């Protein structure tokens, strides 16, 4: 999924992100590389041009070139631009309350994934506590009803169908009645697809739309068709009117162009993406997360914002150097524990570090341990904090008494600290991003030496 685009963009950004100062030429080069990556990803040319111009204009402003951390600022600009092209914020379905039946009309060309997506959406709504009903209004393809019934059974959602029916509007009306009688609150209408957009299909969909007065008109488009998915969305919107788009087969779409062009070209939000054949393979589309995924650097931007609230950049840089040289002391560790406490949830920070998303849960983070580490180090003298190697048995028992812990606990802390330093040296070389390094520190403190 978007692997190539991600690889190219993160390569381009990495060059700039690591620099202490950047020049206009650096920006031009990076933007050029991003432009090529977008074109290769089959993003609409107009969209690419706008993206490039806007990025260059903003990046060459005072804000970036004169910033303390120009590389990060540049990454943030690219990230924010991508987010806005992807649609800014997540767009929820606009459905009515449970007392009135909401209607979702699913539209799209043949084989785009309408029937599958109808079931996926039904499953999601069911999980959200709604009571969906699937209506089989594709009366053209013989196997369509059967396919929907099988899917409905699989996910435990009722399916309304009429064997031999000829008029999809009549079936829709009966499905509405069925929903009313059975206290179901969301009707998802699967419709007929054609190979191409043609008049009879549009006429039928218009009739259905007039009868159904749907709350959502979702176009189901195959992302693998790239720009033509965007053209199709445009036409459907002009002829029928859409409230949003579902891009399917995102799992097999290695380029991602459709997702990036859609909002800009059609003005319609991408609401969900299909990421596989199973009913569960369905994701709400989050522009911001998608932008981060494309940058391939974890959520660098918000990590930096968060971390900067409490840690000054210079301090972070010093920390990194210390980590690298292995002269990270217990005093440094103490100040890290304290700033971590200020940052709030450690987990939310770790989640944003590249490569760590999903690997840490709140349970893994031993807050109690952080607390007694703080107590133990607080009971040490300045000399001891600067050089933990001088802490022999006599000092250990004094520290234990002072902190209300045991000699064994003091010993454990020292052992852990020792391991931490070794790990840090390795990791600080891997990551020259001070904010990431700082967050990693938290992880090491908690996970090493268990
Ligand atoms: N990998 C993958 N396959 C998908 C996805 N969505 C749908 N498919 C597959 O695409 C094929 C067509 O899906 P359908 O849901 O039958 O498409 P349709 O639009 O209802 O097709 P018609 O009813 O013939 O117009 C099926 O084999 C699905 O399993 C997806 O997100 N990822
Ligand atoms: Mg179908």
* C-alpha distances out from residue 21 to 15, 17, 66, 154, 435, Å: 12, 10, 8, 57, 18
- Contact between 33 and 12 under an 8 Å Cβ cutoff? The reply is yes
> Is the minimum distance from the CB of 251 to ligand 1 under 6 angstroms?
yes
Give the pLDDT of residue 58. 87
Given phi > 0 = left and psi -120 to 50 = alpha, else beta, which region is 449?
Answer: left
User: Would you place residue 310 in the very low, low, confident or very high pLDDT band (cuts 50, 70, 90)?
Assistant: very low
Q: Tell which wins on pLDDT, 319 or 279.
A: 279
Give the pLDDT of residue 318. 67
- Contact between 133 and 178 under an 8 Å Cβ cutoff? The reply is yes
What's the CA-to-centroid distance between 285 and ligand 2, angstroms?
A: 22
Give the pLDDT of residue 147. 95
Q: Tell which wins on pLDDT, 64 or 186.
A: 186
> Is the minimum distance from the CB of 115 to ligand 1 under 6 angstroms?
yes
Give the pLDDT of residue 124. 94
Give the pLDDT of residue 247. 95
Query: Considering only CA atoms, which residue is closest to atom 17 of ligand 1?
Result: 113
Give the pLDDT of residue 68. 65
Confidence check: pLDDT of 237 > 90: yes
Query: Average pLDDT, whole number, for the chain?
Result: 82
User: In angstroms, rounded to a whole number, what is the distance separating the alpha carbons of residues 329 and 324?
Assistant: 12
What's the CA-to-centroid distance between 426 and ligand 2, angstroms?
A: 53
Length of the chain: 450
What's the CA-to-centroid distance between 142 and ligand 2, angstroms?
A: 10
What's the CA-to-centroid distance between 112 and ligand 1, angstroms?
A: 6
Confidence check: pLDDT of 357 > 50: no
User: Would you place residue 323 in the very low, low, confident or very high pLDDT band (cuts 50, 70, 90)?
Assistant: low
- Between 112-121, 264-273, 340-349, 368-377, the lowest mean confidence (pLDDT) is in 340-349
Of the listed ligands, the closest to the CA of 246 is: 1
Query: Considering only CA atoms, which residue is closest to atom 14 of ligand 1?
Result: 113
User: Would you place residue 332 in the very low, low, confident or very high pLDDT band (cuts 50, 70, 90)?
Assistant: confident
Give the pLDDT of residue 422. 76
Give the pLDDT of residue 311. 47
Portion of the chain with pLDDT greater than 90, in percent? 45
User: In angstroms, rounded to a whole number, what is the distance separating the alpha carbons of residues 296 and 75?
Assistant: 11
> Is the minimum distance from the CB of 397 to ligand 1 under 6 angstroms?
no
Rounded to an integer, the average pLDDT of 103-122 is: 96
Give the pLDDT of residue 98. 77
Residue to mutate, 105, 111, 189, 284, ligand 1, most ligand atoms under 8 Å from C-beta? 111
Give the pLDDT of residue 439. 57
What's the CA-to-centroid distance between 251 and ligand 1, angstroms?
A: 12
Portion of the chain with pLDDT greater than 70, in percent? 79
What's the CA-to-centroid distance between 441 and ligand 1, angstroms?
A: 45
What's the CA-to-centroid distance between 135 and ligand 2, angstroms?
A: 12
User: Would you place residue 269 in the very low, low, confident or very high pLDDT band (cuts 50, 70, 90)?
Assistant: very high
User: In angstroms, rounded to a whole number, what is the distance separating the alpha carbons of residues 365 and 447?
Assistant: 8
User: In angstroms, rounded to a whole number, what is the distance separating the alpha carbons of residues 369 and 63?
Assistant: 42
Confidence check: pLDDT of 123 > 90: yes
Rounded to an integer, the average pLDDT of 8-21 is: 80
What's the CA-to-centroid distance between 94 and ligand 2, angstroms?
A: 24
> Is the minimum distance from the CB of 72 to ligand 1 under 6 angstroms?
no
Give the pLDDT of residue 437. 52
User: In angstroms, rounded to a whole number, what is the distance separating the alpha carbons of residues 416 and 342?
Assistant: 23
> Is the minimum distance from the CB of 114 to ligand 1 under 6 angstroms?
yes
Give the pLDDT of residue 169. 95
Rounded to an integer, the average pLDDT of 268-297 is: 87
> Is the minimum distance from the CB of 120 to ligand 1 under 6 angstroms?
no
Rounded to an integer, the average pLDDT of 211-237 is: 93
Confidence check: pLDDT of 308 > 70: no
Give the pLDDT of residue 71. 76
Confidence check: pLDDT of 60 > 70: yes
- Between 56-60, 193-197, 364-368, the lowest mean confidence (pLDDT) is in 364-368
Confidence check: pLDDT of 43 > 70: yes
User: Would you place residue 172 in the very low, low, confident or very high pLDDT band (cuts 50, 70, 90)?
Assistant: very high
> Is the minimum distance from the CB of 249 to ligand 1 under 6 angstroms?
yes
> Is the minimum distance from the CB of 248 to ligand 1 under 6 angstroms?
yes
Give the pLDDT of residue 367. 67
Query: Considering only CA atoms, which residue is closest to atom 21 of ligand 1?
Result: 111
> Is the minimum distance from the CB of 141 to ligand 1 under 6 angstroms?
yes
Per-residue pLDDT tens for 335-356?
777 766 655 445 544 444 444 4
User: Would you place residue 15 in the very low, low, confident or very high pLDDT band (cuts 50, 70, 90)?
Assistant: confident
Per-residue pLDDT tens for 143-167?
999 999 999 999 999 999 999 899 9
> Is the minimum distance from the CB of 112 to ligand 1 under 6 angstroms?
yes
Give the pLDDT of residue 187. 98
- Contact between 184 and 101 under an 8 Å Cβ cutoff? The reply is yes
User: Would you place residue 121 in the very low, low, confident or very high pLDDT band (cuts 50, 70, 90)?
Assistant: very high
Q: Which atom of ligand 1 is the closest one to the Cα of 275?
A: 31
Give the pLDDT of residue 352. 47
Per-residue pLDDT tens for 375-431?
999 999 989 999 999 999 999 999 999 999 999 999 999 998 888 777 766 665 555
> Is the minimum distance from the CB of 226 to ligand 1 under 6 angstroms?
no
* Per-residue b or e along 181-215, where b marks 16 or more CB atoms closer than 10 Å to that residue's CB: eeebbbbbbbbbbeeeeeeebbebbeebbeebebb
DSSP character for 94? -
Rounded to an integer, the average pLDDT of 21-26 is: 86
What's the CA-to-centroid distance between 75 and ligand 1, angstroms?
A: 36
- Contact between 35 and 55 under an 8 Å Cβ cutoff? The reply is no
Give the pLDDT of residue 401. 92
Q: What one-character-per-residue DSSP string does 96-132 give?
A: --TTS-EEEEEE-STTSSHHHHHHHHHHHHHHTT--E
Give the relative orientation of helices 3-17 and 287-295 as an angle to the nearest 10 degrees.
Answer: 70
Q: Report CA torsion sign: 23, 37, 304, 328.
A: negative
Rounded to an integer, the average pLDDT of 344-369 is: 51
């Amino acid at each position: 999924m978007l692997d190539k685009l991600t690889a190219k963009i993160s390569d381009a950004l990495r060059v700039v992100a690591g620099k202490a100062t950047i020049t206009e030429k650096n920006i031009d080069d990076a933007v050029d590389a991003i432009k090529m990556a977008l074109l290769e990803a089959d993003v609409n040319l107009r969209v690419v041009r706008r993206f490039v111009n806007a990025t260059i204009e903003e990046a060459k402003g005072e804000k970036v070139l004169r910033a303390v951390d120009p590389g990060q600022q540049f990454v943030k600009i690219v990230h924010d631009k991508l987010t806005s092209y992807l649609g800014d914020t997540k767009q929820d379905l606009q459905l009515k309350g449970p007392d009135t039946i909401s209607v979702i009309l699913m539209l799209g060309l043949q084989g785009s994934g309408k029937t599958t997506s109808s079931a996926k959406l039904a499953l999601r709504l069911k999980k959200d506590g709604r009571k969906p009903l699937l209506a089989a209004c594709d009366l053209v393809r013989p196997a369509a009803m059967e396919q929907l019934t099988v899917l409905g059974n699989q996910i435990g959602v009722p399916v309304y169908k009429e064997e031999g029916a000829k008029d999809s509007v009549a079936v829709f009306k009966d499905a509405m009645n069925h929903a009313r009688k059975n206290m179901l609150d969301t009707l998802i209408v699967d419709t007929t697809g054609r190979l191409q957009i043609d008049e009879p299909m549009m006429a039928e969909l218009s009739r259905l739309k007039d009868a159904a007065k749907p709350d959502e008109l979702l176009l189901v488009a195959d992302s693998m068709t790239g720009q033509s998915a965007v053209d199709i969305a445009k036409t459907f919107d002009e002829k029928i009117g859409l409230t949003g788009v579902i891009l399917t087969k995102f799992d097999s779409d290695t380029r991602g162009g459709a997702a990036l062009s859609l909002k800009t070209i059609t003005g319609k939000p991408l609401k969900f993406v299909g990421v596989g054949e199973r009913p569960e393979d369905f994701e709400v589309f989050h522009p911001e997360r998608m932008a981060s995924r494309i940058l391939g650097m974890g959520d660098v931007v918000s990590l930096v914002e968060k971390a900067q609230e409490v840690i000054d950049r210079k301090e972070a840089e010093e920390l990194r150097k210390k980590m690298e040289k292995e002269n990270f002391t217990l005093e440094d560790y103490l100040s890290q524990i304290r700033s971590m406490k200020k940052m709030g949830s450690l987990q939310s920070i770790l989640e944003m570090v590249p490569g760590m998303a999903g690997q840490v849960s709140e349970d893994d983070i031993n807050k109690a341990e952080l607390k007694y580490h703080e107590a133990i180090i607080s009971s040490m003298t300045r000399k001891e904090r600067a050089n933990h190697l001088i802490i022999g048995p006599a000092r250990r028992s004094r520290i234990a008494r002072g902190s209300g812990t045991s000699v064994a606990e003091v010993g454990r802390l020292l052992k852990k600290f020792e391991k931490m330093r070794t790990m840090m040296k390795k990791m600080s070389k891997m990551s020259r991003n001070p904010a990431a390094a700082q967050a990693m520190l938290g992880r090491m403190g908690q996970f090493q030496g268990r």
